[in-house]
Structures are given as structure tokens and as C-alpha cells.
Amino acid sequence: MRCDFADSLLQGYFDGELSGRRAAEFERHLRHCVYCVTELVDLDLLRDSLELAQLYEPATASLRRKIKINVSLHAIAPTTAASRPCLWHWLAAAAALLFVVSVLGRVGQMFNRDDYQAELAGEIVDAHLRSLQSGPMTGIASNAEGDIKGWLDGRAGFAVPVRDFTNEGFALKGGRVDVIEGRAVAVLVYQRNGRPINVFIWRTREQDSPRRTGSRQSFQWVDWRKGKMEFCAVSDADPMDLEQLHQLMNSSA
């Protein structure tokens, strides 16, 4: 015979959800009810086998990564002065690191700075590769400076210098927002002789600096800072082309 208590009290008792008074009441009932005792044993066996089977399926690392990127893309700060120090928190941390290093010696400073630069360039080249491999390269496809600027400024949280250099052989194709070191950065997409060039732009507190260049995985990069912004252009185009684009942007910014 099924017992009336089986649906309500028995489950609550088994799950430890009954108040002390009701649990005691149910235990008194258990002394006389074979049905409920058997049911409790069955429930226990069921829970054991569920536990042994390890049915819980956690998210994969790649899903986790995708979600983190989505969240970062979503979390672009409004352009209030108060939030900027947070947005560029990692740059502040890098600056602090550089300060410590500079105390240790100028040579050390140069070395570590280059290390940091190489790591950053690595991330940017990866982002460049991602843009070539999957989906559209541009969040906004346009050659109108104003349209791209309007689209980017709101998302990047600062005034992005957008210039078209079609006449000089670098056609502006559009812009997008990407994630570097967990932060959103603005990207301008140019085309030169059919090859795409990504220019990553983010705010910095550092002084202006002349260009630095490097290559990684057969991609060239040129990095420079001007007007509290850091620029990094990446492409598999001719290094001379990148150099020329750097000069165009540097003189117009």
C-alpha cells in the first residue's frame, strides 16, 4: 500500500528540508510504515547511483572563453572620467611595473619593456588572425569616416581618430571592437593591395613614443603612441606599407 506521507513529508525528510518538529513527527511515522522505510532506502540508492555516475557536465574551457569575451565586449565603459582609470587599470598596472623596473636599472627596464611589448604584440597578432579566420572583419563596414567614428566612439569609450587614406592607397573598410588582454579596443580595418591591415587603438597614459616594429607568425606589426593613445598596426602586407600607414596616421592624428 502506498502511504499518504510518501509524496510530501518523505521527500522533504529525505532532502533535509523538514523543520525539526515535522522531522520528528515523520520519524515517529517511520517506525510503523514499511512502505516509507522501503521508499527511503530506494531514494538513497537512487541518489548514490546518480552521484556515482557523475552526471554533472561542466562547461568546456572554450565555452568559458567565449562567454568571457562576450561579457567584455558588453562591458564597454561609458565615457565618464570616473570610469576611465578602471578601464585602463591593466595599463596602470603595467606602468607601475615599469616604475619598479626602472628603479632596478635602465637596461633592465628596456629589456622588460620589450618583453611586455612582445607579449602584447602576440595578443594583437592573435586578434588579427582571429579576424581573418572567422566572421566579418568589421562590426561596421563603411568607408565614411564619420559613420565609423560614431559607431566606434560609443563602444570604445574614447574619441577614436578615424581617417580614410584611399588616395594614398590605404582604403578604409570599416571598424570593429576587439578584446586584447580582456579589454575592449577599437580596430580600424584598411586594405592595401587586396590585403587587410588591422589597426588596434586604445587609450594610454604613457608619453608619446616612436614606432617599434616586430614580426610574429609571418605577420608584421608596428606600434606607436601618440596623444595618449597607443596604435598597433598588423598585417602580412609589405613592412614598407605598414611604415607608410604609420606615417600617415601619425601625421594626421
Partner 1 sequence: MSELGLEDRERFEQLVLPHVDAAFNLARWLLRGRTDAEDVAQEALLRACRFFGGFHGGDARAWLLQIVRNICYTWLEKNRPLELSMEFDEELHLQTCSTPETLAIAGDDRKRLTLALEMLPPRFREVLVLRELEACSYKEIAAITSIPIGTVMSSLSRARRQLYSVLANPSQGARP
Kindly tell me which of 36 and 121 has the beta carbon lying closer to partner 1: 36
Nearer to partner 1, 2 or 28 (CB): 2
Q: Is-contact 201 185, C-beta < 8 A?
A: yes
Nearer to partner 1, 41 or 253 (CB): 41
Of the residues 67, 96, 100, 110, which one makes contact with partner 1 according to CB under 8 A: 67
Instruction: Report DSSP state, residue 193.
Output: T
Q: Looking at this protein, which amino acid is placed at residue 14?
A: F
User: How far is residue 171's CA from residue 176's CA, in Å, rounded to a whole number?
Assistant: 16
DSSP secondary structure string, 81-99? GGGHHHHTHHHHHHHHHHH
We find the least distance from the C-beta atom of residue 49 to partner 1, in angstroms, to be: 6
DSSP state of 225: E
8 Å CB contact between 199 and 190:
yes
In the bound state with partner 1, the residue whose beta carbon lies nearer, of 25 and 236, is 25
Query: Cell digits for 34?
Result: 514499511
Site for partner 1 in 38-57 (CB under 8 A): 42-43, 46-47, 49-57
Within 79-108, the residues that bind partner 1 by CB under 8 A are 83, 86-87
Contacts to partner 1 by CB under 8 A: 6-8, 10-12, 15, 17, 42-43, 46-47, 49-60, 63-64, 66-68, 70-72, 74-78, 83, 86-87
